[in-house]
Amino acid sequence: MTATVERAVAAPVPATAPGGADRRTAVEQSRRPLWQRVLFVVALVGVAVVFMLPFVWLIGASLRPREYVFSGGFLPTPFAPENYADAWQAVPMVTWLLNSVVVGTAAALAVTLSSAWVAFGFAYFRFPGRDLLFGLVLATMMLPFAVTMIPTYLIWTELRLTGTQVPLWAGNLFGSAFYIFLLRQFLLSLPREYFEAARVDGASYPQLFWKLAFPLIRPALLVAFVFEFKASWTDLMKPLIYLRDEELYTLPRGLKVVLDRFGYGGEQQWEVVLAGSVIATVPMLVLFFLAQRHFVEGIATSGRKG
């Protein structure tokens, strides 16, 4: 069973380099009649517009005065940029932004370093029980968060860390199955001779990892880092469970407060809710444009969902 799952997980990993495949499409491309290509582009533009409309509306509406939030179309007219200042003042937005940055960075750094360390153990060494253990790593990916959620909460409570931000990232210090899998794949693609040669030259195993493997798998490390940063930035459940003090909230948790306070049942100040949503979203869009290659590569080679 584990072997089958593993095969399924490994299935979307392309055997060829992405560059080679692109050239093939380019060749195929030139052979299609022009009218067909135009038709495809028109169809895609149609779908793309539908996908972008929510963003356009969000940004437009967040820049309109309260009474125009719903009645206006997509344009920010009348123009009311002060909504952002209002949101900024109504809630501790800066604090939440910084909290999210700190927690996200800690979570991403912890998981990247620890997973790389463990992945190196699986990729480089041959030892009894390796395949069984690696099967176990993959099996943990299937375990629903809900099953371990309550005992994990009790552990952090026992350590008197409930109510702090530590539980939001510290679990990542022990590696995470998905990233161990991803990084192991990358490590296995490196020629073993590099490492053998370094061994002959007297390098220790930690040196192999730190001086040789680590720089070589940098692209994969970045994939792990941006994915985990995004996951942490988006997570609502852990902050709901662990954080009480509003000063410690991360952005999603804060945004939920904004919705409950200023949205339905609250003061009906939707422009504040919308401005808050934009503030929470923009950093992720910037991250995507900066690290687009890593996201696409990460999804294409590992099949991670979001």
Partner 1 sequence: MATTTVPAPAGRRRRTPLARREARWAYLFLAPWIVGFLVFNAGPMIASAWLSLTEYDAINAPRYTGLDNYRELMADPMVARSLGNTVYYTVLHVPLVMAISLGLALLLKRVGRLQGFFRTVFYLPVMTPAVAVGILFLLLLNTQDGLLNRGLALVGIEGPSWTTDPDWVMPGIVLMGLWSLGSTVIIYLAALQNVPRDLYEAASIDGAGGWARFRHVTLPMISGALFFTLIVNTISSLQMFTEVYTMYFGNRQTQGAFNSDAASFYVIHLFQEAFQFLHMGFASAMAWLLFVIILIITLVQVKLGNRFVYYEGDQP
Inter-helix orientation angle 270-302/177-188, to 10°: 40
Question: By CB under 8 A, is residue 296 in contact with partner 1?
Answer: yes
Please report the beta strands in the chain, taking only residues with DSSP state E, as ranges in sequence order.
none
Judged by CB under 8 A, the chain residues 86 through 125 that form the site for partner 1 are: 114, 117-118, 120-122, 124-125
Judged by CB under 8 A, the chain residues 237 through 276 that form the site for partner 1 are: 237, 240-241, 251-252, 255-256, 259-260, 263-266, 270, 273-274
Q: Are 99 and 227 in contact (CB under 8 A)?
A: no
Question: By CB under 8 A, is residue 144 in contact with partner 1?
Answer: yes
User: CA-CA distances (angstroms) from residue 7 to 10, 94, 140, 297?
Assistant: 5, 45, 15, 20
Query: Torsions phi, psi of 243, nearest 5?
Result: -100, 130
Question: By CB under 8 A, is residue 19 in contact with partner 1?
Answer: no
Residue 213, CB half-sphere, CA atoms under 13 Å: how many? 31
- The CB-of-82 to partner 1 minimum distance in angstroms stands at 20
Tokens of 172: 């990542």
User: CA-CA distances (angstroms) from residue 92 to 223, 257, 266?
Assistant: 31, 11, 18
- The CB-of-94 to partner 1 minimum distance in angstroms stands at 17
Cα 94 off chain centre by: 22
Options 79-87, 90-98, 101-109, 289-297: segment touching partner 1 (CB under 8 A):
289-297
Question: By CB under 8 A, is residue 197 in contact with partner 1?
Answer: no
Per the omega criterion (within 30 degrees of 0), is the bond before 78 cis?
Answer: yes
- The CB-of-182 to partner 1 minimum distance in angstroms stands at 14
Options 76-84, 89-97, 215-223, 284-292: segment touching partner 1 (CB under 8 A):
284-292
Question: By CB under 8 A, is residue 5 in contact with partner 1?
Answer: yes
Pick from 63, 223, 277, 294: which binds partner 1 (CB under 8 A)? 277
Judged by CB under 8 A, the chain residues 61 through 80 that form the site for partner 1 are: 61, 70-71
Question: By CB under 8 A, is residue 8 in contact with partner 1?
Answer: yes
Distance CA 170, CA 304 (A): 22
